[in-house]
Amino acid sequence: MKKFLLYFIVSTLLIANVPERVNNNIEKNSYTQDNSSIYVRDQERAYKRIVSLGEKEGLSKEKIETEVVRLEKKYGTDYEIIYKHFFYDVKEVSKKEKKNEEIRKVNEEKKVVYKKVIQESKIPENIKSYIDIQAQKKYPNDYSQRVKYVEELIEFYNFIKK
């Protein structure tokens, strides 16, 4: 009885910052452990380290939670093991997010350049609209490629015109 009461007090104090889902996973596994209060403490620390590492790497709460759920499916609900895998996986996720952010940034810059190239070209409006439609069809989301494509078509048109 004393052990259960001690476990209950310790778990309620330590679980304050841990989501309900994680709390339930830790409690389920703690019944099978000999030293359940130490197990609960270690698991909660591991989960908090996961969250702090994710925040340190600049991941959103949703991204962190998604990654934890993915690792739970793969490795079970032992958060010390999940932390070890999360440490390496978060580096990869962080690199991918940074790369995607750079691509979005470049794409926004190229979007302005694309509009400028189309507007400043000295070709008839019907040909401009045709080139614009073809560029949108060929490269719907990649403005860098669109700019190259439009410049090549305009250059080709000017060559033929001479």
| DSSP-assigned letters across all residues of 91-118 | HHHHHHHHHHHHHHHHHHHHHHHHHHHH
Would you say residue 153 lies in a domain?
Answer: no
Q: Is 85 inside a domain boundary? A: yes
In a domain, 69, yes or no: yes
Number of domains, the chain:
1
Q: Mean pLDDT of residues grouped by 10 in the chain (162 residues)?
A: 48 60 73 70 89 85 88 86 86 82 89 86 86 88 88 87 77
Q: What angle do CA 75, 68, 65 make, to 5 degrees?
A: 165
* pTM attached to this predicted model: 0.50
The parent domain of residue 6 ranges over 2-99
Structural domain includes residue 70: yes
Q: Is residue 75 part of a domain?
A: yes
Q: Is residue 74 part of a domain?
A: yes
